[in-house]
Amino acid sequence: MNKSISIAAVVPAAGVGARMGLNHPKQYLKINDKTILEHTLEKLAGVKQIDHTFVAISKDDAYFPELDIEHLGLSRVDGGKERADSVLNALKAMSANPPKWVLVHDAARPLVEPKDIEKLIAHCLSAGEGGILASKVKDTIKRGGQYSEETVPRDQLWQALTPQLFIFEELLHALDTALKSGAIITDEASAIELQGKPVRLVEGRSDNIKITTPEDHALACFLMSQQQKSS
């Protein structure tokens, strides 16, 4: 792939899905007619501003070759030990022909609305700053273990979602630096924040859920049916 790229997408899809409690990775669970991963890749393919997609897949993943995604023209890269390692591997794989921007979206978030992705892209590219989709916390938040230690003021609290969109060179440097320092990085924004760079919070739909536990899968099946009815 040698054409210059403005926006590349990275889909970390190399997890084992331990919290789902299955004998196969959760990204291969079906929602209606397709796997979670196929749904997610199709959603990104529907966003015309994305020039190419790299999907990080575990080296011993025997499921990925079975997917019906040839038509999407993706590039497969090896996943890593943690999500951040998978993302960094994908960034390194594209460094020979680097994009200006990189958009990272969890395979486990198939319900994302393309309109929200387009909203994030429009903001970041016009403002020249990185950003993430996020949803405002709606519940009362407690800090504690077995007992509540504190009710945390929630007016400034957001749930980070994906996609997360950053300038390629900045994210490559931030992730590489953070991981070499041993920092715990659970999203791209936290690596960027460690560099003291801004992360714009762009409000997105709260039904852009990450399918993590069995009840999330049941909810996702319902939400996907609703999406398909209205599309």
Binding residues (CB under 6 A) for ligand CTP: these are 12-19, 26-27, 56, 79-83, 86, 106-108, 210, 212
| Residue 186 binds to ligand LQXTBERG (criterion: CB under 6 A) | yes
What single-letter amino acid sits at 188? Answer: E
Q: Which two tokens stand for residue 88?
A: 């960094």
8 A C-beta contact, residue 88 and residue 179: yes
Q: Which of 136, 105, 121, 113 is nearest to 203 (CA)?
A: 136
* Residue pair 185/174 in contact by the 8 Å Cβ criterion: no
Question: Nearer Cβ to ligand LQXTBERG, position 217 or 229?
Answer: 217
Q: Does 210 bind ligand LQXTBERG (CB under 6 A)?
A: yes
Rule CB under 6 A: say whether 85 interacts with ligand LQXTBERG: no
Characterize 182-197 residue by residue with b for buried, 16 or more Cβ atoms within 10 angstroms of its Cβ, and e for exposed: eeebebbbbbbeeeeb
Least CB distance from residue 210 to ligand LQXTBERG, whole Å? Answer: 5
Asked if 106 interacts with ligand LQXTBERG (CB under 6 A), we say: yes
Residue 83 binding ligand LQXTBERG, by CB under 6 A: yes
Distance CA 49, CA 130 (A): 16
160 sits near ligand LQXTBERG (criterion: CB under 6 A): yes
Structure tokens at 81: 């030990």
Q: Any contact of residue 187 with ligand LQXTBERG (CB under 6 A)?
A: yes
- Which residues bind to ligand LQXTBERG, rule: CB under 6 A? 83, 106, 160-162, 186-187, 210
